[in-house]
Structure 1
Amino acid sequence: MTASTRDGAPMTETVPTAEQYWENFYREREQVWTGNPNPLLVREVHGLSPGTVLDLGCGEGADAIWLAEQGWRVTAVDVSATAMARGEQRAAAAGLTIAWERHDLRATFPAGSFDLVSAQFLHSPVELPDERAGILRSAAAAVAPGGVLIVGGHAGWPSWADTPPHDYAFPTVEQVLEQLELAPGQWQVDTAELVHSASTSPDGVVGERADSVIRVHRT
């Protein structure tokens, strides 16, 4: 993106890095999210035997903390040190042990394989085309044999958002499955659906929002 200086010379507008963007995002408020786990993740985890889990884009740690409470051995990852510090503080207060790792997933990815990999709402206005797809493929590669990958995401802006805050192309369920590039015969799709739920704007306008949820397991 370009702009002009006073004398008319072109000036390049600096695009923030993922770390800069999300650090600013979390520092604006003492707490951004509700502290409750994602309901669709809770639904999809039901019935799974606890083992090792990788929580990608953990934010302030609500999902990671809930998973640890269910007996999972959790590795929680985010690009924002501020967000993870909040999660680590909550986990410590609850007597829970969670491994916290800071990664810009576009550049580095946690080592190891896991019985469950969770990637919830990995949307970012500073990502480039295909970067999210690459991260999701890395997430699938981190699933151990017999393990599960759960991908949750928004499928569009809320119905009350007449003017979206920024331009973002939310992928469909079918597009996410294509992006994962699951090897035929090695994966089974357990869930692939669109879920509509109520959504209320900051001004109290009631509407709805559609989210996608995908659960696959490595056979």
Structure 2
Amino acid sequence: MSEDTETTGQEYWDARYNESGRIWSGEPNAALVDEAAGLEPGTALDLGCGEGADAVWLARQGWRVVAADISAVALERARRHAADAGVGDRIDFQCHDLGASFPEGDFDLVAAFFLHSWKDLPREAILRTAASRVAPGGTLLIVGHVGEPMWVEEIGSYVELPTSAEVLESLEPAAQEWEVLISRERARAHASPGGHDADSVVKLRRR
């Protein structure tokens, strides 16, 4: 799909999700399970929730979740997933173009997984806003692909996704306010030929 400046981010992602009945596996991201399993459940914000697998997993662990995505199609699937899992009452699904609007409130966990888009996306600004939503003692967890995205041909120009060190630098965390728990690359267990074989993982705790 070539870049179309007339197509909004929501239109693009709705069309992407409408290409098939389900895009993702329905299972939570492995990094979320590894990094959030030991946290005391409280309130969580899931940014770019897609079809809802991470939000459902969090709700099953006892979290109360606000889950946001730009795609109305994805959110409807996420609501059905949550209802089928018996946790629909623990998740508030909200439609947001995060560059323009953002969920309200402070949260014990703010998670952003693979928040990438070929459309203009002010990712660094969004992640700094995400950090501002972390309650004292809470956790910020950011996971993203590293290197050249698989969709680089769609946009007709070179893009390189940031390393964990670059993500951390862009957040500008003050040492007196944040404890850096993790900043590293994580090998993907099921990397496909021509796809991403590693992800960046940044995990911070607000003091």
Q: TM-score, normalised by structure 1?
A: 0.85
1:33–1:60: 8 Å Cα contact kept in structure 2? yes
Of the three residues 210, 213, 216, the one matched with 2:198 is: 210
- Offset, 1:41: 1.1
Q: CA RMSD in A?
A: 1.8
* Closer/same/farther in 2, CA of residues 186 and 124 from structure 1, 3 Å limit: same
Residue 174 of structure 1 aligns to a residue whose secondary structure is helix
Q: Deviations over 1:112-150 (max 9, x none)?
A: 00000000000000024xx10000000000000000000
Query: What stretches of structure 1 of length at least 5 have no aligned partner?
Result: 1-12
Q: Give the percent of matched residue pairs that are identical in Structure 1 and Structure 2.
A: 50
- Offset, 1:87: 0.8
| Equivalent in the alignment of 1:123 | 116
Judging by fraction of residues, say which structure has more strand: 1
- Measure the CA separation in 2 of the matches of 1:207 and 1:123: 15
| Equivalent in the alignment of 1:185 | 176
| Equivalent in the alignment of 2:43 | 52
2:68–2:95: 8 Å Cα contact kept in structure 1? yes
2:141–2:203: 8 Å Cα contact kept in structure 1? yes
Query: What stretches of structure 2 of length at least 5 have no aligned partner?
Result: none
Runs of 4+ aligned residues of structure 1 deviating over 6 Å after TM superposition are none
- Measure the CA separation in 1 of the matches of 2:57 and 2:202: 20
2:191–2:197: 8 Å Cα contact kept in structure 1? no
Count of residues in correspondence between the two structures: 199
- Offset, 1:93: 1.4
1:190–1:217: 8 Å Cα contact kept in structure 2? yes
| Equivalent in the alignment of 2:187 | 196
| Equivalent in the alignment of 1:40 | 31
* Closer/same/farther in 2, CA of residues 206 and 178 from structure 1, 3 Å limit: closer
**Higher Rg of the two aligned structures:** 1
- Offset, 1:15: 3.8
* Closer/same/farther in 2, CA of residues 87 and 217 from structure 1, 3 Å limit: same
- Measure the CA separation in 1 of the matches of 2:11 and 2:96: 13
